[in-house]
Amino acid sequence: MIFYNIGDGYSSGCCTGNLYTISQDDPKYFGAKDVEHPENKPGSFIANLADMYKARPITVGRHNLTLEVMLDNLERYESEIAGHNDQITAFIGIPDLYTFHSENEEQFKSLFGVDTDYSTFVGKHLLLNGTDNLGELTPAELSTYQMMCEKRKTVDVAKKIEYLEMFIQRISNITHKVIVYRTTHLESLDLNLPNNVTFLNESIVEILSKQHQPHRRGYFDKEAYKTLQRSFLKLL
């Protein structure tokens, strides 16, 4: 049995083992681009559930994973899942949907309604929550970024939900069961889902925040994640 873990850092166990948010930040794993650090993966609540069920966890989630990046990697996920003969349960954590990505500067102008220079942000997956790693910005670029963060709710979430439903549908087609939940997307969602998909329409960040303080870099520790067992055991 395999538990296939797709989601952001709250799904992948980010910072439970060390302070590295992704492997490539650690000199030992230089070149391991955009994947969760191996020392953090065991701290994931999904890894903990896998131990209980004697399943093998496969973690493809990582820090700041957006829906757009998930969609970009969908074919890779499908290929990896199809390469296993085991019964697979997929876990899909829904990140904040108020993110934005475009290769076209005119789309920035159309969405945010301000005619300014967006070239620095074209082609980047923007969280628009003030934590994007954009390097050193000029005062003008910083002003533009702050404006976009303030207007993040203009992002078309309805269209994002359509893409999310398509993503879940395709993963459900090749797995035994899919468990979907919210991580950093805090608003309730009304999703049209296949029969083999169970949806916990709660944010695990909000669940954890009721009883625990963040441990490192806004993430929780391994012991805090273990408390999610009660919410997820009933879904398996």
Domain ranges within the chain, ordered by starting residue: 2-97+156-233, 105-154
Q: Distance between the two ends of the chain, CA-based, in angstroms?
A: 12
Are the CB atoms for 94 and 206 separated by under 8 Å?
no
pLDDT confidence of 235, banded at 50, 70, 90?
very high
DSSP string spanning 17-86?
SSS-SSGGGSGGGTT-TT---TTTGGGSHHHHHHHHHTPEEEE---TT--HHHHHHTHHHHHHHHHT--S
Instruction: Decide if 124 contacts 101 (C-beta within 8 A).
Output: yes
Strand 88-94 and strand 177-182: pairing?
Answer: parallel
Q: Percentage of the chain with pLDDT > 70?
A: 100
- The CATH architecture annotation of domain 2-97+156-233 reads 3-Layer(aba) Sandwich (3.40)
Note the pLDDT of residue 33: 75
205: confidence class by pLDDT, cuts 50, 70, 90: very high
Residue 29 banded pLDDT, cuts 50, 70, 90:
confident
100 strand-pairing partners: 126
User: How many CA atoms, within 13 angstroms, populate the side-chain half-sphere of residue 197?
Assistant: 21
pLDDT of residue 34: 80
35 within 8 A of 62, measured Cβ to Cβ? yes
Residues 152, 130 contacting (CB under 8 angstroms):
no
- Name the token pair of 145: 């970024």
- Amino acid at site 228: L
Contacts of 163 (CB under 8 A, 6+ apart): 67, 71
Checking if the pLDDT of 32 tops 80, the result is no
On the question of pLDDT at 170 being above 90, the answer is: yes
Segment 97-112 mean pLDDT:
91
CB 95 within 8 Å of CB 7: yes
Mean pLDDT for 193-211 is: 97
- Both tokens of 62, joined, read 């990582």
Give one word for 159, left, alpha or beta, with left for phi > 0 and alpha for psi -120 to 50. alpha
Identify the band that residue 31 occupies on the pLDDT scale cut at 50, 70 and 90: confident
CA-closest candidate to residue 64, choices 130, 136, 4, 10: 10
% of the chain at pLDDT higher than 90: 86
